[in-house]
Amino acid sequence: MKLSEITPDTSCPCSSGVLFSDCCGKFITTKQHPPTAESLMRSRYTAYAIGEIEYLTRTLPLMDRKKFDRAGAKIWSEQSEWLGLEVIEVKENSPVHATVEFKAKFKIGDEEHLHHEKSRFEKQMDRWFLIDGKILNE
C-alpha cells in the first residue's frame, strides 16, 4: 500500500483497529509528533508499510540520520507485503527512556517472515526518537 492509496476509510496498517487518519497518519502526514514511544514505534511500522522512507529518517536523532540506509529501507519496504504488527511489551524506564518489543509480520513473494525486535527510544527536546533495536529470536 502507498500513501496515495489511503482513503478516509483505510484502517491503520499498524493493526490498531483505528483509521489511519486517527492513528499513525497524524504523525506521518502532519508535523504532529508521537506522544509516546509506542505510538512512535507504530508509526514507524506504518511508514515501512506505506513506503514513507522520509518519515523513518526524521524519527531518528539528528546525528543518526546520515548513516541510515534509506535505499535498503526502501527496498525492504517495497518488496514486502506488510501483514500486521503486534506490540508485545512497552517499558518506560524513565520519563525519557522506553523500550518497545514488537513483532512485525510481512511477506516477500510467497514467504512469510516475522521481524521480532526490542527497540530503544529516547525523548529529546520533548520528542521521541528511535535510538536502536535488538533483533530477537522467535
Q: Does 47 bind Zn ion (CB under 5 A)?
A: no
Question: What is the C-alpha to C-alpha distance for residues 4 and 112, in angstroms, rounded to an integer?
Answer: 25
Under the binding rule (CB under 5 A), the answer on residue 23 touching Zn ion is: yes
Residue 26: CB minimum distance to Zn ion, A = 9
Query: Least distance from C-beta 109 to Zn ion, angstroms?
Result: 26
Q: What angle separates helix 70-79 from helix 37-50, to the nearest 10 degrees?
A: 70
Rounded Cα distance between 21 and 6, Å, is 9
Candidates 1, 3, 10, 16; binder of Zn ion (CB under 5 A) is 16
CA 80 to CA 122: how far, in whole Å? 28
- Check binding of 24 to Zn ion (CB under 5 A): yes
| Contact criterion met (CB below 8 Å) for 69 and 60 | no
Binding mask 48-77 for Zn ion (x = CB under 5 A): ------------------------------
Rounded least distance, CB 87 to Zn ion, Å: 11
Residue 21 in contact with Zn ion, rule: CB under 5 A: no
Q: In 78-87, which positions are buried (b, 16+ CB within 10 angstroms) versus exposed (e)?
A: eebebeebeb
Which of these ranges, 15-23, 85-93, 99-107, 120-128, lies near Zn ion under the rule CB under 5 A? 15-23
Residue bearing cell 522512507: 53
For Zn ion, the binding residues (CB under 5 A) are: 12, 14, 16, 23-24, 42
